[in-house]
Amino acid sequence: MISSAGGGILMTLVMAAVLIFCNGLSAAAADKTPPPNPYEVERSWPPYFLEHQKLFTEKAGTYKAGKYPVWTIHVPGGWIGNSTVIEGDDGLIVYDTSVNMDAGAFIAAEIRKISDKPIKAIFYSHHHSDHYGGTAALVTPEQVADGSVKIYAWDNFEAEVANEFGAILPRQIMGVFYYGPDLLPPEDKHHHGCCSPKILGGKSGYIPPTDTFSEDVELEIAGVKMQVFYTGGEAISEFGLYLPEFDMVLIGDEFFYALANIHSIRGSKPRLPENYMKALDLVREIQPEWLLGSHIMPIQGREDIQRYVTVSRDAIQYLWDQGIRYINKGYTPAELQQQFLELPPYLDIAPFTRPMYGTPWIIAPEIYTGWVSWFSGDATDLLPTEQVEKARRYVALMGGRDKVLAAAKKAYEAGDVQFSAELTQMLVRIDPEDWDARHLKAASLRQRGYQEINTIARAWYLNGANELDGKLKPGALMAIGLQGVQSELPAGRILESWRYQVDADKVGDKRLLLGIEFIDSGDTYTVELRNSILEITQGPLADDTPKVSLSTLQLRDVLAGKPAPDGAGDTGVLMAIIGYLDRTPPDFGMHTR
């Protein structure tokens, strides 16, 4: 999944932010202590919610697949991302290494209990960070460099890490905070519906792949025969393994103890429903006796597996096809949500299609966006009145702030917390310091969150309530997080991130051209600023281009405010380009605007 949370860099910065948050930055950063929320909301969970959580708490452990030399380490050390170990004649094969070095150390200790054979190969099922962060706890970079350990991934793996977890990094940081339980106080903490209670934190031990696939292949490693087959559902870099001698399929994140999350609201590139279905159809075609995955315990039984994967892929096709059926009847995204509040009972098979990770009313509008766009179809919605102005006019028409607040309270007391949230949303928009409105909106979202079974939606409601109560400081978290990124990004990705920082108001149509040579890696890039866009091209530099030569570290220093190093070349042009970047750390709440 993580859908999970993202690249190793994202994880590191989130960890930094979380640490600081836990150490009380929120109080330090606040100019004044927010008033306490007078509404008391009784904490509760839907009955199945706590039952489902046990799959990742009580059931955490190492499971052997019957008589076969294959073990899944399920929720290693409480962390997101399983690891599966296959023992061959003269070595071990590891499929996924979990999320960080802590989880990796746990996996390494479990492996030592199983076998003392050396690890020969590691597979990264896809580019979500809960699948490769533990690698350096299992093998050393030297072993990988000298070829004694091979690391396999699909050929778009690294490009997808850089792209999916690069371009929208600041917005994604916010999404990761809100969609997971990490920032919730202990009494509200819960598991992440696909996977585990612990998602963010720890140090990444990522080691890049050495061998990549561009098509389905057959391999034999340590005497174990395997077929690599592309799936591409949960992530576009995803593949599975079929081990014919063990009658077994490893399916990564294409199958969960929950409904798949077809597009993540935390911020992700679109996911393709047909790829999830194709992945599960391949399992149906193979009809294995064993099904293993990166968030499940090994499942045995041909017939059971056929039934589980069939209902899972059918649930996806149902939402897709029925979603389109209703789109063709003219339904808008909001109407689709009401139509698809839950799956019909015949498709709702616990735990495999329970709405703990994906949920129908979040998936349905995503299908609309993918096929139709964001537009409802009513031209009034094409370019609506600016939202604060609209709130102002509505509230005035409704008789003013006090009347609206009183109506919101009434709705809240009657249990209509969605409507009280909608009314107070307007008041908070008009005046973000209206604490009566903020507290009532917070209480409404909290009440709604406690009724919610989907872990992602629940976390978002509860984190939103904390933001409104002033307990969560988005700007401070973001600033610290982005600072952490500066010290981790490789040179090419630093330059790539500039594309999205060009301050068009400042730069206008000015043109600048610069060649940059990184003396540590030898990589060269031509950076051209024109028409308020940055074109970055890797490759040899033209002779007549102004040029700077510096190390990645020196560039980071310049970005941190130090003067450009002497003798580095045309540093004036470099400074001019940097001067045209909008480098103010973003500071936005999700619920106070």
Pick between residue 1 and residue 430 the one whose CB is nearest to Zn ion. 1
Which residue has the closest beta carbon to Zn ion?
Answer: 1
Which one of the spans 1-9, 147-155, 222-230, 305-313 is the region binding Zn ion (CB under 5 A)? 1-9
Which one of the spans 30-38, 126-134, 184-192, 360-368 is the region binding Zn ion (CB under 5 A)? 126-134
C-alpha 172/C-alpha 135 separation (Å) is 24
Query: What is the three-state SS of 296-361?
Result: CCCEECHHHHHHHHHHHHHHHHHHHHHHHHHHCCCCCHHHHHHHCCCCCHHHCCCCCCCCCCCCHH
Pick between residue 454 and residue 554 the one whose CB is nearest to Zn ion. 454
Pick from 343, 381, 181: which is nearest to 262 by CA?
A: 343
Which one of the spans 45-53, 124-132, 164-172, 443-451 is the region binding Zn ion (CB under 5 A)? 124-132
3-state helix, strand, coil in the chain (%, to 5): 45, 15, 40
Which structure tokens are listed for 59?
A: 């059931």
Pick between residue 82 and residue 526 the one whose CB is nearest to Zn ion. 82
Which one of the spans 11-19, 35-43, 122-130, 478-486 is the region binding Zn ion (CB under 5 A)? 122-130
C-beta of 194: minimal distance to Zn ion in Å?
7
C-beta of 158: minimal distance to Zn ion in Å?
18
Q: Is there binding between residue 1 and Zn ion (CB under 5 A)?
A: yes
Which structure tokens are listed for 175?
A: 């999404």
Please state the length of the chain: 593
C-beta of 12: minimal distance to Zn ion in Å?
18
Q: Is there binding between residue 238 and Zn ion (CB under 5 A)?
A: no
CB 591 within 8 A of CB 446: no
User: Site mask, Zn ion, residues 150-189, x = CB under 5 A?
Assistant: ----------------------------------------
CB 299 within 8 A of CB 249: no
Pick between residue 9 and residue 479 the one whose CB is nearest to Zn ion. 9
C-beta of 251: minimal distance to Zn ion in Å?
12
C-alpha 62/C-alpha 82 separation (Å) is 10
C-alpha 333/C-alpha 442 separation (Å) is 25
Tell which phi-psi region holds residue 229, choosing left (phi > 0), alpha (psi between -120 and 50) or beta.
Answer: beta
Cβ contacts of 548 within 8 Å, gap of 6 or more: 514, 515, 516, 517, 564, 568, 569, 570, 571, 573, 574
Pick between residue 1 and residue 442 the one whose CB is nearest to Zn ion. 1
Pick between residue 1 and residue 426 the one whose CB is nearest to Zn ion. 1
Q: Is there binding between residue 467 and Zn ion (CB under 5 A)?
A: no
Q: Which of 102, 182, 253, 469 binds Zn ion (CB under 5 A)?
A: 253
C-beta of 277: minimal distance to Zn ion in Å?
19
C-beta of 304: minimal distance to Zn ion in Å?
23
Which one of the spans 61-69, 128-136, 340-348, 467-475 is the region binding Zn ion (CB under 5 A)? 128-136
Pick between residue 87 and residue 130 the one whose CB is nearest to Zn ion. 130
Pick between residue 99 and residue 573 the one whose CB is nearest to Zn ion. 99
C-beta of 376: minimal distance to Zn ion in Å?
33
| Residue spans of alpha helices (H) in 54-207 | 101-114, 135-138, 141-145, 157-164, 169-179
Which one of the spans 220-228, 245-253, 481-489, 551-559 is the region binding Zn ion (CB under 5 A)? 245-253
Give the distance between the most distant pair of CA atoms in the chain: 79
C-beta of 81: minimal distance to Zn ion in Å?
6
**Rounded to 5 degrees, what are φ and ψ at 538?**
-85, 140
Which one of the spans 41-49, 101-109, 129-137, 397-405 is the region binding Zn ion (CB under 5 A)? 129-137
Distances in Å between the Cα of 204 and the Cα atoms of 108, 143, 200, 384, 548 are 15, 18, 11, 44, 32
Q: How many residues line the site for Zn ion (CB under 5 A)?
A: 3
Which one of the spans 155-163, 250-258, 351-359, 516-524 is the region binding Zn ion (CB under 5 A)? 250-258
Cβ contacts of 535 within 8 Å, gap of 6 or more: 527, 528
Residues 525-554 that bind Zn ion (CB under 5 A): none
Q: Is there binding between residue 469 and Zn ion (CB under 5 A)?
A: no
Q: Could you please report the per-residue DSSP string of 152-173?
A: EEETTHHHHHHHHTTTTHHHHH
Pick between residue 94 and residue 428 the one whose CB is nearest to Zn ion. 94
End-to-end CA distance of the chain: 30
C-beta of 407: minimal distance to Zn ion in Å?
44
Pick between residue 62 and residue 196 the one whose CB is nearest to Zn ion. 196
Pick between residue 91 and residue 209 the one whose CB is nearest to Zn ion. 209
Pick between residue 1 and residue 480 the one whose CB is nearest to Zn ion. 1
C-alpha 532/C-alpha 1 separation (Å) is 36
CB 188 within 8 A of CB 204: no
Burial (0-12, 13-18, 19+ Cβ within 10 Å), 24: exposed
Q: Is there binding between residue 130 and Zn ion (CB under 5 A)?
A: yes
C-beta of 235: minimal distance to Zn ion in Å?
8
C-alpha 192/C-alpha 184 separation (Å) is 12
Binding site for Zn ion (CB under 5 A): 1, 130, 253
